[in-house]
């Protein structure tokens, strides 16, 4: 992936969307690329180890699949990585990022992608 595309997202710098605790968290960002596709980016941060932030995932998908991919990325952090989310500390629930992507894409519900991995999608996104 070229650095040219990566300049559109910077999850750690913006720190607008996050899942985790104050010491260990995953931050997210997304952007619409000039060709209409959506770039979704997540970064792992572990402050206790004083380690630099490291890219976890960078996905580029069609606009219609972006909400499902955002959900997959959040679920991966919550379930597979077993990260505990501090709702009060971040002043957001863990699905805030997913809803932001949905709103940007003009979507009211998540569509499963036709090809590739199929994210495990809950029946409803909690608000």
Domain assignment present for 26: yes
Domain assignment present for 117: no
The residue that leads in pLDDT, 46 or 12, is 46
Q: Which two tokens stand for residue 108?
A: 């009211």
Domain assignment present for 15: yes
Domain assignment present for 93: yes
Domain assignment present for 71: yes
Q: What is the mean pLDDT of the segment spanning 34-50?
A: 83
**Nearest-CA neighbor of 28 among 61, 62, 64, 73?**
73
Q: Which two tokens stand for residue 39?
A: 């770039």
Residue 79 per-residue DSSP state: I
Residue 18 per-residue DSSP state: E
What domain range is 60 assigned to?
3-105
Q: What is the mean pLDDT of the segment spanning 67-85?
A: 84
Split into its structural domains, the chain has a count of: 1
């Amino acid at each position: 992936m070229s650095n040219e595309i990566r300049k559109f997202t910077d999850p750690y710098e913006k720190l607008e969307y996050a899942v985790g605790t104050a010491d260990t968290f995953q931050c997210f960002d997304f952007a619409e690329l000039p060709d209409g596709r959506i770039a979704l980016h997540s970064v792992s941060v572990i402050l206790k180890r004083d380690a630099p932030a490291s890219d976890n995932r960078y996905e580029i998908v069609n606009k219609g699949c972006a909400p499902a991919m955002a959900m997959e990325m959040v679920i991966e952090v919550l379930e597979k990585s077993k990260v505990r989310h501090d709702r009060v500390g971040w002043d957001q629930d863990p699905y805030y990022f997913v809803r932001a992507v949905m709103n940007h894409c003009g979507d009211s519900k998540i569509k499963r992608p036709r090809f590739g991995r199929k994210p495990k999608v809950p029946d409803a996104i909690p608000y």
